[in-house]
Structure 1
């Protein structure tokens, strides 16, 4: 059930985010995507019943290549480790997702845990987004090194995030813990500042 009284972690930053964004061909923008369903799964990727169970619910098999993700429809499955994945789904759909996964994986040695309240998502996009990320993260942000289909657990500023490369615009999605969300927004707005007048 949706709690109509809750607000996003950084809702009070909305005006600052709008003022701190630059639109247009040369710009960069920052937005929050709150309340996504996020479910952590632990299991054995070599167990055909486990793989089939997850696929039955989300439409794709768990990725087995490190630092990758797969998407189908409303669901994205991130590789977090050899036996750990995170499924991200529609806003406020976690209860249904957890129940369907538990039913599909019943009897197997697995863990299915709702972690939706553990992270919010920030999207950084636009022609200057890569330059903002180059100032903010130690990873190689060149298109050949970090491309759509890749995701990695890293730091942006000093905030630990799950960083996803969504598309070639480029768009970066950062899943960040609530305690770091406001700090990360402030960091990114500051890093975006030099592109206000392009």
Structure 2
């Protein structure tokens, strides 16, 4: 039986998560159902189109829309309809990324070991995101809540980043 790309990706994510040597409490790998890159429009237009989804800043007029429950095709169609009068470009990058979720009172200290950002809540509020680097690995850091961060990276770097994160927690 042939597996869809989404099934293969989910299986790879599960294998990677299982391959982390006993991840510490507070580090998990829940994967979003869709990540769509939207370029050429303002954040307000995207948030109006999909108010229940996370909109992460990647750079000037470039965003990721991250969904926890909409499939990529459905989310892309919804954004296409909502932004049809805009000069927007949409790309499904769901299968190219990997997400680590970090929780707990020590999460800022752990992240400070790898990123050169001011993570104090007054400077990096919940909902904010920024592309940056963890050592030499490109990441997108998203503060979900006060003590919860999502760390996105390219799938090919997920294993290396996972090892760094596990080592930083210990």
Same structural fold, with TM-score higher than 0.5 when normalized by the shorter chain: yes
Deviation at 1:158, TM superposition (A): 2.5
Q: Where does 1:12-27 land on structure 2 (aligned, <5 Å)?
A: 12-15=15-18, 17=20, 19-22=22-25
TM-score (norm 2): 0.83
SS of equivalent to 1:189: helix
5+ residue gaps, structure 2? none
Q: How many residues in Structure 1 have an aligned counterpart in Structure 2? A: 167
* Alpha-carbon distance in structure 2 between the residues aligned to 1:37 and 1:58: 13
Counterpart in the other structure of 1:7: 10
Q: Which has the larger radius of gyration?
A: 1
Q: What's the Cα RMSD here?
A: 2.5
Q: Is the 8 A contact 2:58 2:140 kept in 1?
A: no
Q: Where does 1:108-147 land on structure 2 (aligned, <5 Å)?
A: 108-147=86-125
Q: Which one is further off, 157-166 or 181-190?
A: 157-166
5+ residue gaps, structure 1? 23-28, 60-72, 194-198
Question: Which of the numbers 136, 142, 152 marks the counterpart of 1:175?
Answer: 152
Cα distance change, pair 18–126 in 1 and its aligned pair in 2 (3 A): farther
Q: Is the 8 A contact 2:100 2:151 kept in 1?
A: yes
